[in-house]
Copies of this chain bind each other. A is one copy, B any other.
Amino acid sequence: MNAPTSPLNLIPEVHQREVPAVLISALKERFGERCSTAQAVREQHGRDESAYTTVPPPAAVVFAESTADVADAVKQASAHNVPIIPFGVGSSLEGHLLAVQGGISVDVSRMNKVLAVNPEDLTVTVQAGVTRKQLNEEIKSTGLFFPIDPGADASIGGMSATRASGTNAVRYGTMRENVLGLEVVTASGEVIRTGTRAKKSSAGYDLTRLMVGSEGTLGVITEITLKLYPLPEAISAAICSFPSIEAAVRTTIQIIQMGIPIARVELLDHHTVRMVNAYAKLGLREEALLLMEFHGSPASVKEQAETVQEISHEHGGQDFEWASTPEERTRLWTARHNAYFAAIQSKPGCRAISTDTCVPISRLADCLLDSVDEAEASGIPYFLVGHVGDGNFHFGYLLDPAKPQEYEAAERLNHALVARALRLGGTCTGEHGVGLHKMDFLVTEAGDGAVEMMRNIKRALDPKNIMNPGKIFVL
């Protein structure tokens, strides 16, 4: 494990490549006002929700309205060896959107059409700029839903590119399991399709899964075909407070090991409950708690909830508080999804460094509890939330951007946590991606040979290294 360094040092070799004026002219000619070089637009597209703030913005932003737009922008950039950085809603936590080697941001947020709903096949095809909430709103009348829900109202393109998940993944899987096929603009500006609408296939290399999680480094995802699920006949959500984080975690481990098909099981520590209470006026008991949801037939939901309540009691959990109406449930889950923003507001002017380790469920307590002790000892304010049913949790260390010593302390905590997770058979990132922040961790986790294989794939599919270069690894 490398020694902790400040975030700027974690961006290796920030070489701004030249973006020739002739390219900007050509893009303006092709896209008119949809190619912007305005400072404010460029700056908005040159940052994200990560702690990085000091990289110069992209030279221009192209607002694509079609796959052909994306392909033309890539072809023009390719002709000048200029980087292309795909942009959805800007909710990356790992610096994916930063123009560390300069280049052009391609904003796909106007590619926001739901192209084909096939309710009888439980599939939908969308453009990359459709957000998860928009999608669920548009398919509401079908009785189906799309379960993957990162905290932000992210674009489906961005969620695919980072292999995102969220609170429902414990039951419904992640983007890895829920993307059936893609349309991708390659590094040469060619448009290819991967996968079909069939539920399974053994037809050649799994290009779909190669693109999912490639963070824009192998191509720009322009269309996505997703699995949908019938809205459960019955849904029940409950809050349960625990005397300690450990009690909540041990309860979770037992639920998973018993194979109970729980739909959501989310941990909030007492700090986070306090922040969420302040932000959303929730009045929750300020102790560690689990937010849980059960999906199924009425009988099955009742059966699951009874079993889980028994397990919780064995670990000292309070009685369940039920959120029985859809409105109460929405309020609860909105509060959970806003935990990040609630935390940011709790320390005005701060930025958060968010950890993202994921470990085998049996190692969850070992991994989490020691890290809680370390965070407490550091004196740095933090929040702690977890998709604990998957063994995945996030510390968010809240930093004053003006104080390098806070960055350094947070990075020390993060390094210790990742080292611990890897020792326990886990991963440095469960759902946020590598981006700029976890390149060294990736090498420690996967090994030089596997990372070199990734680089070889990158070199083969993007010989000019123009697709979001400098993310995942530096070539």
Binding site for B on A (CB under 8 A): 118, 120-123, 162-165, 169, 173-174, 176-177, 186, 190-194, 196-207, 209-210, 212-214, 218, 229-230, 253, 256-259, 296-297, 299-300, 303, 356, 358-363, 390-392, 422, 425-434, 438, 441-442, 445-447, 449-451, 453-454, 456-457, 459-461, 472-473
Contact = CB atoms under 8 A, between A and B. Distances in A.
Which residue among A121, A186, A363, A434 has the maximum number of chain B CB atoms within 10 Å of its CB?
Answer: A121
Contacts of A441: 203
Give the oligomeric copy count: 2
B205 A162 contact: no
A68 to B, nearest CB: 15
B447 A192 contact: yes
A428 B177 contact: no
A457 B454 contact: no
A198 B427 contact: yes
A258 B144 CA distance: 11
A213 B202 contact: yes
Contacts of A447: 192-193
Chain B CB within 10 Å — which of A199, A258, A296, A449 has the most?
A199
A204 B434 contact: yes
A453 to B, nearest CB: 6
Contact of A202 (B360, B429, B454): B429
B207 A206 contact: no
A445 B196 contact: yes
A177 B186 contact: no
27 contacts: A120-B257, A122-B361, A163-B202, A174-B200, A186-B449, A186-B453, A196-B425, A196-B427, A198-B430, A199-B361, A199-B392, A200-B390, A200-B430, A201-B429, A202-B430, A202-B431, A202-B433, A203-B434, A204-B213, A204-B442, A204-B454, A205-B472, A206-B206, A299-B299, A453-B461, A457-B461, A459-B460
